[in-house]
Structures are given as structure tokens and as C-alpha cells.
Amino acid sequence: MLKAIYPGSFDPVTYGHLDVIRRSAKLVGHLIVGVLNNNAKMPLFSAKERVKMLKDVTKDLPNVEIALFDGLLVDFAKEMEAGVIIRGLRAITDFEYELQMSQTNHKLGPELETIFLTTSIEYSYLSSTTVKEIAAFGGDVGQFVPEEVRKELEQKMNARRRM
């Protein structure tokens, strides 16, 4: 059975991520969505909150597991016995960073392969960063993220405004 990891920050998960998760889950036997627990990136949502949102939006996918990780992705892949990393490619601007990351991971763990899925065209512009910016200015993010995530974003932004 092919086991793969789809790693990321998911701060928060968007329809673009969900598209890659759904398509990957059809390709592999078991998909682990690896959520990076790295406060250095100063995420808006805690690792626990990001995991909860991902669990909510993937609950209909029986072969998808959500797991936190810190440290090196290759070590996490080894620990989970996964041989493949999946990453989404939106545009040419993603390519340089993704190429560097996959080649570095291949050096650190030669048995690990990275597979890229090009994101569906309707999500090619979408990023968690822009979603957070729209939400911070009170814009409607309903077309970019699932309803559960939209509500969490609204609450988070309201709490920030009260601070």
C-alpha cells in the first residue's frame, strides 16, 4: 500500500489544499496530512486549531489521517513509514522553492520521492496568506475556505480586534 505525506503549514486550510488532499487520497492507499508545528513561522492558528480544522474538513475521507510534526520532514516520513511526499504546484512562482525543497529532501532521505500535483485552475491564485489578509479586513472568504474554517477565521479576527 502506498503511503504518502502531504506536508504544510495549513494556516488555515483552504479549498486549494483540500483539492490536493482529495485528489491525492484517490492516488494513494493512505494519506497523512502533516501539519508543521513551528511557532517560528508565527501562525495565526495554533497547531491544535489547524489540526482540528483539517480533521473537520476531511472527515469524509477514510484514508486520510491528520498528524502534527516538528523537525525535519524526512524524519517524520521515516517515522510514519511513508515513501512519498506530495506537494501542490500553483504557478511557476512556486516552482523554485518546491524544487529546492524536494531536492534537499531527496539528499537527506534518498528513498523519499516528491510528487507534485498541479492545483486545479480555479485555486491557482489561492493562498492561506491572502485568505488571512482578506479576513483581517473584514472581507468575505466564503469562496476560498470551507464554512468551518470561515467561522474560525471570523472568530479569530474578532478576538484580535477586541485586543
The reply to whether 36 sits near ligand PNS by the rule CB under 6 A is yes
Q: Which is nearer to ligand PNS, 104 or 118 (CB)?
A: 104
Binding span for ligand PNS by CB under 6 A among 4-12, 48-56, 111-119, 138-146? 4-12
**Site for ligand PNS, residues 105 to 124, rule: CB under 6 A:** 105
C-alpha cell at 76: 517524520
160 catalytic residue (yes or no):
no
Catalytic residue flag (residue 3): no
Residue in 8, 16, 43, 88 binding ligand PNS, rule: CB under 6 A = 8
Q: Is 86 in the site for ligand PNS (CB under 6 A)?
A: no
Q: Can you tell me which residue has the cell 483552504?
A: 14
List the one residue out of 57, 45, 73 whose CA is nearest residue 19.
57
150 part of the active site: no
